[in-house]
């Protein structure tokens, strides 16, 4: 296979082709792939994956904050078919922008990030949402726990210590149900199963690059990891409220979310994973 002029295109395309899954929705625009990460050092290679759908109000601030707090990490913004200026604004920075041609949802968005991380050989991938809710100042806390405990994934939890986070009643009830259910399944207490602020190690990156749940993926991803025999730890985090844009979780959607995720968990428990 010939090497593309932008460095990234070649390993990512090769990896996707090997998996037989070069998705038609993934646009690997050359101009967006201008920065090659420095993979020559012996330190762990860290990728910050920023999923973003119509986040023009927040994306610039999020990229700047990540650069300030993680100057040595590489950033991949996964622009999930946004129809606002999210992609354009992200491309003004020295980051990789992977653009879906269509809106695919957060599950596919994160899987694109993991495919990229696996293809480029990153050791750690941290999800930092493009809406500004995940404080960049706490990325290092997740990475520290990942490295100290040898866990496969560390989830930033709003409920390990007081964080001031107050979900709505419906959302809080849903979170409590998931937390109990997942703790029973995993055999360990998990307090915040819906947090997307997470750090994944190498084994998780590989696994998630080929298996990542679709819709509302956070809870299911934990069950899949447990089935795989991978370990999960939590680290206390604070989370800010959204600073702009719109949440995907409307009251009606939270009912769909509960039913869908509960069914998916039971199906996952019965499924054979390769
Ligand atoms: N809503 C939505 N977000 C997406 C999609 N694809 C990627 N994302 C990004 O995924 C991240 C999480 O989405 P949010 O809507 O904030 O979900 P959430 O954080 O669970 O909900 P809130 O606490 O209400 O913000 C954000 O950075 C989005 O920009 C999509 O199809 N819909
Ligand atoms: Mg959010």
1 belongs to a structural domain: no
Name the residue among 205, 209, 201 with its Cα closest to residue 231. Answer: 201
Ligand 1 centroid – CA 245 distance (Å): 10
197 belongs to a structural domain: yes
Cα separation of 47 and 198, whole Å?
Answer: 12
Atom of ligand 1 nearest to the CA of 53: 29
- If one residue of 103, 129, 172, 245 were mutated to test the ligand 1 pocket, choosing by the most ligand atoms within 8 A of its CB, it would be 129
pLDDT of residue 19: 52
Beta strands (DSSP E) in 87-236 are 96-100, 124-127, 153-157, 198-200, 232-236
189 belongs to a structural domain: yes
87 belongs to a structural domain: yes
Helix, strand and coil content of the chain, in percent to the nearest 5, comes to 45, 15, 45
pLDDT of residue 163: 65
pLDDT of residue 36: 60
Domain count, the chain: 1
15 belongs to a structural domain: yes
196 belongs to a structural domain: yes
Atom of ligand 1 nearest to the CA of 105: 31
Task: Compute, in degrees rounded to 10, the torsion defined by CA atoms 50, 266, 175, 255.
Answer: 90
pLDDT of residue 170: 74
User: Which domain does 168 fall in, by range?
Assistant: 9-270
Whichever domain contains 253, its CATH number is 3.90.550.10
pLDDT of residue 150: 86
pLDDT of residue 28: 56
pLDDT of residue 173: 82
Ligand 1 centroid – CA 248 distance (Å): 6
Beta strands (DSSP E) in the chain are 26-27, 46-52, 74-80, 96-100, 124-127, 153-157, 198-200, 232-236
Cα separation of 147 and 152, whole Å?
Answer: 9
Ligand 1 centroid – CA 234 distance (Å): 21
pLDDT of residue 273: 78
Question: Between β-strands 74-80 and 96-100, what pairing exists: parallel, antiparallel or unpaired?
Answer: parallel
pLDDT of residue 7: 38
pLDDT of residue 254: 78
Q: From the CB of 3, is ligand 1 less than 6 Å away? A: no
Q: Write out the chain's pLDDT in tens, 274 residues.
A: 333 323 344 455 555 555 544 455 565 543 345 556 666 667 899 999 999 999 999 999 999 999 999 999 999 999 999 999 999 999 999 999 999 999 999 999 999 999 999 999 999 999 999 999 999 999 999 999 999 998 999 999 998 876 667 777 777 888 899 999 999 999 989 999 999 999 999 999 999 999 999 888 999 999 999 999 999 999 999 987 666 666 666 777 778 888 889 999 989 888 887 7
Residues 6 or more apart whose Cβ sits within 8 Å of residue 17: none
Coil, strand or helix: which one is 80? strand
3 belongs to a structural domain: no
pLDDT of residue 271: 83
Cα 264–Cα 118–Cα 90 angle in degrees, nearest 5: 90
54 belongs to a structural domain: yes
């Amino acid at each position: 296979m010939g090497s593309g002029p932008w460095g990234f295109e070649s390993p990512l395309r090769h990896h996707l082709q090997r998996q037989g899954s070069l998705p038609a929705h993934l646009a690997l625009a050359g101009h967006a792939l201008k920065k090659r990460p420095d993979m020559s050092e012996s330190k762990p290679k860290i990728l910050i994956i920023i999923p973003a759908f119509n986040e023009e109000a927040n994306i610039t601030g999020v990229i700047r904050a990540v650069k300030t707090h993680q100057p040595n990490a590489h950033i991949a913004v996964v622009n999930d078919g946004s129809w606002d200026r999210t992609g354009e604004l992200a491309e003004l920075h020295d980051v990789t922008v992977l653009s879906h041609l269509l809106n695919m949802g957060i599950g596919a968005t994160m899987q694109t990030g993991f495919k990229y991380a696996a293809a480029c050989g990153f050791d750690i991938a941290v999800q930092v949402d493009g809406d500004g809710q995940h404080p960049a100042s706490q990325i290092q806390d997740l990475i520290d726990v990942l490295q100290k405990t040898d866990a496969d994934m560390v989830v930033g939890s709003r409920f390990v210590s007081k964080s001031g986070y107050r979900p709505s009643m419906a959302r809080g009830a849903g979170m409590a149900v998931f937390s109990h259910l997942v703790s029973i399944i995993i055999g360990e207490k998990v307090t915040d199963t819906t947090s997307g602020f997470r750090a994944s190690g190498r084994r998780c990156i590989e696994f998630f690059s080929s298996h990542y749940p679709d819709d509302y993926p956070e809870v299911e991803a934990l069950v899949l990891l447990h089935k795989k025999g991978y370990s999960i730890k939590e680290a206390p985090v604070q989370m800010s409220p959204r600073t702009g844009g719109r949440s995907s979780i409307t009251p009606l959607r939270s009912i769909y979310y509960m039913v869908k995720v509960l069914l998916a968990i039971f199906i996952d428990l019965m499924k054979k994973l390769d």
